[in-house]
Amino acid sequence: MASKRGLGKKVLEHELVPEHRLLTIEEAIDVLRRLGAQPWHLPRISVNDPVARVLGAKPGDIIEIKRRSHTGGEALYYRIVVAYQKGVK
């Protein structure tokens, strides 16, 4: 039918998708220091995740996710970008 490419920026506007932001290296280091965590401690997101693709993220980047929490307004969550994963297109 239509092109095989993803939906592009439309994805970011979907109500299920919280706000994602790619952190700069300085911000990423700051976040890790604040959490007292190593990069591999963080939850992951695949480079081929639709949102990560729109942001142009590369493996090793950290993405900040502003979740609309069900219990307390907004909550920040961090995911580290990892290489291609099976099961994610």
**23 versus 65: smaller Cβ distance to another protein:** 65
**19 versus 27: smaller Cβ distance to another protein:** 19
- Cα–Cα–Cα angle for 21, 23, 24, rounded to 5 degrees: 145
* Minimum gap (Å) between residue 71 Cβ and another protein: 6
CA 59 to chain centre: 11
E-assigned strand segments in 2-53? 19-22, 44-46
Q: Which of 33, 34, 40, 73 binds another protein (CB under 8 A)?
A: 73
* Minimum gap (Å) between residue 19 Cβ and another protein: 9
Residues 6+ apart with CB under 8 A from 8: 54
Is residue 28 near another protein by the rule CB under 8 A?
A: no
E-assigned strand segments in 1-89? 19-22, 44-46, 62-68, 74-82
**28 versus 79: smaller Cβ distance to another protein:** 79
Q: Name which of residues 30 to 59 contact another protein (CB under 8 A).
A: 43-46, 49-52
